[in-house]
Amino acid sequence: MATGKQADDLFGAIRSLPVPERLRLVERVVHDIAESEKLEPNEAMSVIGSFSDVSDLIEQISEAAMVSRERDPLRLGRE
């Protein structure tokens, strides 16, 4: 299990990535956990609870994702 220092180092490395790459990484991690645990589709969101010991990290990642979604739309609007 990762220590707090390791989690902080990992978060620092993630923050150095471009925002779209960070979002892909977070999505990939969640899918990997869901697949490795063989969760039922309706249980997939319970994966988030497994990060309760690093709630500050999850909050920072979530905030970064929301800011990037507002700033960098996934699709170009029609003009």
Task: Report if pTM > 0.85.
Answer: no
* Both tokens assigned to 78: 């029609």
CA distances from 56 to 11, 34, 36 (A): 11, 21, 24
DSSP code at position 34: H
> Half-sphere exposure of 72 toward its Cβ, with a 13 Å CA cutoff?
11
pLDDT in tens, 17-75: 888 888 888 888 888 877 776 655 555 555 556 666 777 777 788 888 888 878 877 66
Contact in structure between 60 and 11 (CB atoms under 8 Å): yes
Q: Give the pLDDT confidence score for residue 39 in this predicted structure.
A: 55
